Amino acid sequence: MHRTQFFAKPKIQVKYVLETLLMVFMAALISVLVMDYRIMHSTFAENLSLGEVNALIYAVRTGVIYISVIFLVLVFVKSTLFFHHLIGPMVVIERTLEVMKEGYFGGKIRLRNHDELKELAESIEALGRIILEESAAAKLKIGDVSNKLNEMKDKIGEKNYVEMKQKLDSSMSFFKNHFGTEAAAKLMKK
């Protein structure tokens, strides 16, 4: 599964980027209001004319606005990249879990070097390996039961033998089709 889109889940990514930008904007607005208040109510403002106080407030506001705009741009770029490296792996992990839900295990989750959630991907891969190993053991047990059934064919009767053999063959078919790296690899390439 090769990712080709920068915005894998645009609604989620845009939502959190906008929330982050809104917080930065609110911080800038609060900073301007606090500075205005502090300037208007400070003791040194008493010695200035109203025009000088307004000029000082304008200069402070302008400086805060310039700094805030620069900070907003930086936060936008950083949060967009962060969510790209977070949401992208989430999409890959969701697809992998969908594959596993269908009964295909043993695949490798491929993430890029700078992606987040690598530990989660490794845990899911380990879970798939455990299930695959357990299914291999179950497959061996079904094979043993099938061999024992063949040995007991004459004792249990043809009708019972055929019915039991079909059930075992059906179970073995399920394991062949759903478990193993080959089956998982086919589905992961979709």
Q: What is the mean pLDDT of the chain?
A: 80
Q: Are both 95 and 138 inside the same structural domain?
A: no
Q: Are both 95 and 142 inside the same structural domain?
A: no
CA nearest neighbour of 132 among 100, 155, 154: 100
Q: Are both 88 and 44 inside the same structural domain?
A: yes
> Quick check: helix, strand or coil at residue 179?
strand
Tell me which residue range forms the domain holding 70.
1-101
Q: Are both 17 and 76 inside the same structural domain?
A: yes
Q: What sign has the CA pseudo-torsion 41, 46, 51, 52? A: negative
43 lies in some domain: yes
- What does pLDDT average to in each consecutive run of 10 residues of the chain (190 residues)? 63 84 90 87 83 88 89 87 82 84 77 84 86 80 80 79 80 65 53
Q: Are both 26 and 59 inside the same structural domain?
A: yes
pLDDT at 178: 61
pLDDT at 114: 79
pLDDT at 80: 83
Instruction: For residue 76, give every residue at least 6 positions away whose Cβ sits within 8 Å of its Cβ, in sequence order, or none.
Output: 17, 20, 21
CA nearest neighbour of 115 among 141, 92, 131: 92
pLDDT at 177: 63
pLDDT at 30: 92
Q: Are both 93 and 148 inside the same structural domain?
A: no
Q: Are both 79 and 161 inside the same structural domain?
A: no
| Secondary structure letter of residue 157 according to DSSP | -
